Structure 1
Amino acid sequence: MEISIFQCVLIGIWTSLCLAGMLLGIYSNRCIILSFGVGIILGDIPTALAMGAVSELAFMGFGVGAGGTVPPNPMGPGIIGTLMAITMKGQGMDPATALALSFPFAVAFQFLITATYTFVSGLPEFAKKSLAKKQFGRFRFAANSTILVFMIVGFIIGFSGAYSIEGLKYVVELIPAWLIAGLSVAGKLLPAVGFAMILTVMAKVELIPFVLLGYVSVAYLNLPVMGIAFIGAMFALLEYFRTRNLTGQTVEEGGSEDGI
Structure 2
Amino acid sequence: MQLFLLAAVMGLCNWLHKMEIGYNTGYTIFESPITSGLLAGLILGKPIEGLIIGGTIQLIYVGVIAPGGNFPADSAIAGACVAPIALMTGMKPSVAVTLAVPVGLLGVFLINLRKTIAIRFAHSADRYAKEADTRGIYRCAVIYPGLLNLLVAFLPVFIVVLFGTSVVDVILKYIPEVVMHGLEVAGGMLPALGFALIMHMIGKPKYIVFMILGFFALQMTGWSNLVLGIFGGCLAFIIVLLKREAGMEADDHE
The TM-score bracket by the shorter chain reads 0.7 to 0.9
Query: Counterpart of 2:104?
Result: 106
| 1:129 shift after superposition | 0.6
Query: Counterpart of 1:56?
Result: 58
Q: CA 1:191/1:124 → structure 2, altered by over 3 Å: closer, same or farther? A: same
2:29 is equivalent to residue 32 of structure 1: no
Query: Counterpart of 1:83?
Result: 84
| 1:23 shift after superposition | 7.6
Q: CA 1:166/1:139 → structure 2, altered by over 3 Å: closer, same or farther? A: same
| 1:22 shift after superposition | 6.1
| 1:102 shift after superposition | 1.8
What amino acid sits opposite 1:109 in the alignment?
A: G
Structure 2, gaps ≥5 residues long: none
| Farther-moved stretch of structure 1 (205-214 vs 172-181) | 205-214
| 1:57 shift after superposition | 2.1
Query: Counterpart of 1:122?
Result: 120
| 1:184 shift after superposition | 1.4
| 1:204 shift after superposition | 1.5
Q: 2:72 aligns to what SS in structure 1?
A: coil
Task: For 1:76 and 1:65, locate their aligned partners in 2 and report how far apart those are by CA, in whole Å.
Answer: 15
Q: CA 1:176/1:231 → structure 2, altered by over 3 Å: closer, same or farther? A: same
Query: Counterpart of 2:224?
Result: 227
**TM-score normalised by structure 1 residue count:** 0.76
Task: For 1:76 and 1:159, locate their aligned partners in 2 and report how far apart those are by CA, in whole Å.
Answer: 11
1:50, 1:95 within 8 Å by CA — same for their partners in 2? yes
Superposed CA deviations along residues 129-177 of structure 1, whole A, max 9, x for unmatched, are 1232344443332223123322432221221111221112222333222
Q: CA 1:95/1:215 → structure 2, altered by over 3 Å: closer, same or farther? A: farther
**TM-score normalised by structure 2 residue count:** 0.77
| Farther-moved stretch of structure 1 (237-246 vs 76-85) | 237-246
| 1:4 shift after superposition | 3.3
Superposed CA deviations along residues 79-134 of structure 1, whole A, max 9, x for unmatched, are 22212320111xxx211210111210110011111111111012111012123234
Task: For 2:237 and 2:129, locate their aligned partners in 1 and report how far apart those are by CA, in whole Å.
Answer: 48
Identical residues among aligned pairs (%):
22
Q: CA 1:40/1:18 → structure 2, altered by over 3 Å: closer, same or farther? A: farther
Q: CA 1:65/1:200 → structure 2, altered by over 3 Å: closer, same or farther? A: farther
2:155 is equivalent to residue 153 of structure 1: no
Superposed CA deviations along residues 163-218 of structure 1, whole A, max 9, x for unmatched, are 22111222233322222212212222222211211222222224446546767898
Q: CA 1:232/1:132 → structure 2, altered by over 3 Å: closer, same or farther? A: closer
Q: CA 1:244/1:42 → structure 2, altered by over 3 Å: closer, same or farther? A: closer
| 1:67 shift after superposition | 7.8
Query: Counterpart of 2:176?
Result: 176
| 1:232 shift after superposition | 6.0
Q: 1:60 aligns to what SS in structure 2?
A: coil
Q: CA 1:99/1:229 → structure 2, altered by over 3 Å: closer, same or farther? A: same
Superposed CA deviations along residues 211-246 of structure 1, whole A, max 9, x for unmatched, are 46767898x99x6xx624534655776687689889
Query: Rg bigger for which structure?
Result: 1
1:10, 1:41 within 8 Å by CA — same for their partners in 2? no
Query: Counterpart of 2:196?
Result: 196
Task: For 2:228 and 2:199, locate their aligned partners in 1 and report how far apart those are by CA, in whole Å.
Answer: 19
Task: For 2:75 and 2:243, locate their aligned partners in 1 and report how far apart those are by CA, in whole Å.
Answer: 41
RMSD: 3.7
Task: For 1:10 and 1:65, locate their aligned partners in 2 and report how far apart those are by CA, in whole Å.
Answer: 26
Structure 1, gaps ≥5 residues long: none
| 1:49 shift after superposition | 0.7
1:22, 1:29 within 8 Å by CA — same for their partners in 2? no
